């Protein structure tokens, strides 16, 4: 058995892209997916291969691969369930809130697959409910990005990180000197480079951040694991991010006034040459900025203590992996029994063999005597070995004869060249 992790190189037509969740064009990738793979790989002794999350039914290998099935499923539900080459370990599994996805991942064939590999560790309670309502055993595993180790110290001159919140007004005391980042990268970047980018961003959070303000769940959860204060903007009703509420993180819904604010900011840039209009739009945008900033947002949060929950997730993950590995590995005592059976069988066979040099041995009693008596008369060659190789067993030894012939020709060729020199 070998070990695999997930990669996220999506291959889709433009029509298929239009049909994905929320009609978002997947011409770009979210490295939050790769951050989940990094978290997963902490629990594997080695990563022999990476398989595309959205094409697991196309994996055909000679050996079985253990694969932790974590994360968001899936852009291509028609490629579910995975092939028999995969030994799935369901931890941190999430079924997308999408009609087409749920139709295919919750049909009879898929439910049979889940039952075959239960219990299913789910990232959120809604996914667990969707499966348990159909008779599948589940448990709330949370997300493996929660298992990143807590940082040993806080940075002395830590920075505020603004991650994919460019449309949200931030207090100027936090915005000043902040560092803006995005988890969105071009889709054509190789998976290896995405992993590298993800690791670099995680290191920046861990070593430099004193506060992270984000709309990305796989920015928020790793930072919570590192012990960094987090402010999260999203939809409180979206079960994809419901784990944050369970961890004690407030999910701040984007205000309806945000649309007006962003319109005023764009208008402000458009009329910059007209001082009068610019002053009006600027005053209005600052008014809405004040309203949005001073709503019920805690701009000075504390780190969330999750070490006990983290330890539980790590313990459960290790126990689950040990169980699956043991289940799919032949027991040592069985191998030992097979070895002993082989030794006993060979010992019995060896004991029945004739003694070395015995005249009445079977090998010397039949064809050997025939070859010795009839070689000269039937073949006309005085050398018995040659007559056996070239005639009596000619078809058996044809390959050997060809090799010897080629070797002889090669030697003659080399000697001729040396003679010419």
82 in any annotated domain: yes
Domain count across the chain: 4
Considering the domain boundaries, does residue 233 fall inside one?
no
Same domain for 131 and 68: yes
Based on the fold, state whether residues 372 and 342 are members of the same structural domain: no
Range of the domain at 340: 330-356
- Pick 26 or 249 by higher pLDDT: 249
Measured between alpha carbons, how far apart are the two ends of the chain, in Å?
58
Residue 177 lies in a domain: no
Same structural domain for residues 17 and 142? Answer: yes
Q: Which residue has the higher pLDDT, 202 or 275?
A: 202
Report yes or no on 12 lying in a domain.
yes
> Are residues 140 and 37 both part of a single domain?
yes
Residue 384 lies in a domain: yes
pLDDT digits (tens, 9 = 90+) for 218-267: 999 999 999 999 999 999 899 999 999 999 999 988 766 566 667 767 77
Domain-embedded: residue 315: no
Residues with Cβ within 8 Å of 76's Cβ and at least 6 positions away in sequence, in order, are 10, 12, 16, 54, 55
83 and 120 part of one domain:
yes
Residue-wise pLDDT for 299-341, tens only, equals 999 999 999 999 999 999 999 999 898 888 766 677 788 889 9
Please indicate, yes or no, whether residues 402 and 346 belong to a single structural domain of this protein: no
User: Does the pTM exceed 0.85?
Assistant: no
Examine the domain organization and report whether 334 and 370 are in the same domain. no
Q: Which of 149, 133, 264, 141 is nearest to 206 (CA)?
A: 149
DSSP state of 107: S
Q: Are residues 9 and 103 in the same domain?
A: yes
Q: Are residues 48 and 112 in the same domain?
A: yes
| Helix 257-270 / helix 275-293 crossing angle, nearest 10 deg | 150
So what's the pLDDT on residue 11? 46
In angstroms, the CA 375 to CA 385 distance is 10
Between CA 257 and CA 273 the distance in angstroms is 26
Residue 55 lies in a domain: yes
Same domain, 91 and 110: yes
Do residues 22 and 120 share a domain? yes
Residue 4 contacts residue 67 (beta carbons within 8 Å): yes
Residue 400 lies in a domain: yes
Q: Where is pLDDT greater, at 294 or 273? A: 273
Residue 19 has pLDDT above 70, yes or no: no
Indicate whether 10 pLDDT > 60. Answer: no
């Amino acid at each position: 058995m070998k070990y695999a992790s997930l990669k996220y190189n999506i291959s889709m037509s433009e029509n298929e892209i239009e049909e994905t969740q929320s009609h978002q064009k997947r011409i770009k990738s979210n490295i939050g997916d790769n951050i989940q793979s990094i978290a997963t790989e902490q629990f594997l002794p080695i990563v022999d291969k990476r398989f595309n999350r959205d094409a697991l039914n196309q994996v055909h290998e000679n050996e079985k691969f253990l694969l932790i099935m974590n994360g968001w499923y899936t852009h291509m539900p028609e490629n579910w369930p995975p092939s028999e080459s995969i030994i799935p370990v369901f931890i941190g599994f999430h079924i997308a809130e999408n009609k087409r996805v749920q139709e295919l991942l919750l049909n009879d064939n898929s439910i049979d697959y889940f039952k075959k590999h239960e219990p299913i560790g789910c990232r959120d309670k809604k996914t667990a409910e969707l499966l348990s309502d159909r008779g599948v055993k589940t448990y709330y595993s949370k997300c493996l990005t929660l298992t990143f180790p807590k940082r040993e110290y806080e940075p002395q001159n830590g920075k505020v990180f603004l991650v994919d919140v460019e449309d949200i007004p931030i207090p100027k005391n936090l915005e000043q000197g902040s560092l803006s980042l995005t988890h969105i990268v071009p889709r054509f970047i190789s998976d290896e480079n995405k992993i590298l980018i993800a690791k670099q961003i995680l290191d920046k959070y861990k070593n430099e951040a004193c506060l992270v303000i984000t709309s990305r769940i796989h920015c928020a959860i790793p930072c919570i694991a590192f012990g960094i204060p987090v402010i999260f903007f999203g939809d409180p009703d979206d079960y994809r991010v419901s784990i944050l509420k369970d961890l004690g993180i407030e999910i701040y819904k984007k205000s309806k006034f945000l649309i007006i604010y962003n319109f005023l900011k764009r208008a402000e840039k458009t009329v910059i040459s007209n001082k009068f209009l610019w002053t009006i739009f600027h005053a209005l945008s600052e008014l809405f900025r004040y309203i949005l900033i001073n709503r019920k947002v805690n701009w000075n949060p504390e780190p969330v203590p999750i070490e006990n929950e983290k330890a539980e997730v790590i313990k459960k993950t290790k126990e689950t992996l040990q169980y699956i590995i043991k289940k799919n590995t032949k027991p040592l005592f069985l191998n030992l029994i097979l070895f002993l059976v082989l030794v006993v069988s060979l010992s019995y066979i060896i004991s029945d063999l004739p003694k070395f040099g015995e005249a009445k041995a079977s090998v010397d009693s039949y064809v050997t005597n025939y070859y010795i008596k009839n070689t000269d008369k039937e073949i006309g060659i005085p050398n018995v070995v040659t007559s056996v190789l070239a005639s009596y067993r000619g078809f058996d030894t044809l390959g050997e004869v060809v090799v010897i012939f080629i070797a002889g020709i090669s030697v003659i060729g080399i000697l001729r060249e040396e003679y010419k020199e």
